[in-house]
Amino acid sequence: MKIATWNINGLRARLSVVQRWLDARQPDIVGLQELKLADNAFPVEVFVESGYHAVFHGQKSWNGVAILSKTPLVMTRRELPGQTTFGARLITATIGDLSFTTVYCPNGKALDHADYERKLAWFDSLIGLLEDECDREQPLILCGDFNVVPAAIDSWNETRFKDDIFHTEAERHRLQRILDWGLVDLFRQQHQTVQAFSWWDYRAGAFHRNHGLRIDLLLGTPPVAARLRHIEIDREYRKKQAGLTASDHAPVVADLE
């Protein structure tokens, strides 16, 4: 089974790129983030034609998450308790015996911005959801754009950005609490010393200079981690495809037994 996560930075603008990627890579389950469109604009029929069922939680012009699956899925949660004012950022579905959640975690903007403290509170709510409603002994995947750089190796310049947004101890502490609850960073399970990134700014040639951050994660409970065969960041789809502008994020794709 092939699973993936991808912040597409606007589904309306990136739909053709997503279709090309689905046709080329044939993932079984995908978490998408930053749809930037309302539910009534979600292109269900396009994904049906590509062989996917879909559940989605959209928001006009901002945020938005979706799950695509080749097999039927049942949506079980469409928001994070207590955090609805922060927008459409979480969706959960059951696919067979697998619980699959994708998230678009708040950016935080800057340490002196009100959204930074709200970001930390959002993470606290996510940790509470795991503790109150989830079972680490069962197959569960939590994936998406976390807007946190897990460790120094995941930043192109930790020295420059240490203690700045995405790199703070408070953000990393909350991500570590998520892992400590019972989740495994699947990329780091297989690539313990590899420096690789999933996001690059559009500006200043950041992608070509490999000035990026690893902020898009596939996390799984031990029953999922035990099935991991291979995981990679699909850099090819951070590049233009047939003249189509790519997202500033690359998909993260894992093969499970």
Domain ranges of the chain: 2-256
pLDDT at 76: 98
3-state secondary structure of 54: strand
Please state the CATH superfamily assignment of the domain spanning residues 2-256 in this structure: Endonuclease/exonuclease/phosphatase (3.60.10.10)
Q: Choosing from 52, 104, 116, 237, which is the catalytic residue?
A: 104
Active site residue 135: no
- What's the pLDDT tens digit per position in 72-116? 999 999 999 999 999 999 999 999 999 999 999 999 999 999 999
Size of the chain in residues: 257
pLDDT band, very low/low/confident/very high, at 140 (cuts 50, 70, 90): very high
Can you give the pLDDT at residue 191?
Answer: 98
What amino acid is encoded at 257 in this protein? E
Q: Which residues pair with 256 in a beta bridge?
A: 228
Mean pLDDT of the chain: 98
Taking residues 152-165, what's their average pLDDT? Answer: 98
Tokens of 100: 């699959």
145 is catalytic: yes
Q: What is the pLDDT of residue 84?
A: 93
Amino acid 170: pLDDT: 98
The rounded distance, in Å, linking the Cα atoms of 146 and 216 is 6
Residues in CB range of 161: below 8 A, 6 or more apart:
149, 155, 167
**Is residue 158 very low, low, confident or very high in pLDDT (cuts 50, 70, 90)?**
very high
**CA–CA gap between residue 24 and residue 162 (Å, rounded):** 38
CB 233 within 8 A of CB 217: no
Q: Pick the catalytic residue from 145, 185, 216, 248.
A: 145
Distances (CA, A) of 148 to 38, 90, 124, 144: 26, 16, 14, 11
**Tens digit of pLDDT for each residue in 29-76?**
999 999 999 999 999 999 999 999 999 999 999 999 999 999 999 999
